[in-house]
Amino acid sequence: MEKIKCHIRVNSPFARIAAKVMGVKGIAMVLGRTIHLYGASRLEFLSNIAWLRHEACHLLQYRQYGYAGFMCRYLWESARRGYYNNRLEVAARLAENDQHILNRIEIL
Ligand SMILES: [Zn+2]
């Protein structure tokens, strides 16, 4: 399977809103094929392998479900189970230990 080519956007206004909602200082969120960061630098993100793998899993989920499909599932899961038990988040947390997942993405 072809690698997902993705981008990083630092100081993202979308991630800033997410950080505020979540009550955290630093956050990464994936929208399509862009990883939006707020409160963390590109280098901080790239040097945190578990964090990278986590977001790589979300990139793969977008590829699997499509943009709207991911969004619908994510919002539904969050409303039904909350953030922590959202199945897309459970999968992404498991992916933090996946030694191969980063082979499936390419950060431009
Ligand atoms: Zn996540």
| Cα 87 to middle of ligand 1, angstroms | 10
| Cα 83 to middle of ligand 1, angstroms | 9
User: Which residues lie at CB < 5 A from ion ligand 1?
Assistant: 89, 92
Q: What is the pLDDT of residue 39?
A: 97
Average pLDDT over residues 27-32: 97
For 17, residues 6+ apart whose C-beta sits below 8 A from its C-beta are none
Q: Measure CA 92 to chain center.
A: 8
| Cα 61 to middle of ligand 1, angstroms | 11
> For residue 93, is pLDDT > 80?
yes
Rounded Cα distance, 101 and 33, in Å:
15
| Cα 1 to middle of ligand 1, angstroms | 23
The fraction of the chain above a pLDDT of 90, given in percent, is 97
| Cα 30 to middle of ligand 1, angstroms | 8
> For residue 1, is pLDDT > 90?
no
Rounded Cα distance, 82 and 2, in Å:
33
**Residue 7, Cβ density class (10 Å: 0-12 exposed, 13-18 middle, ≥19 buried):** exposed
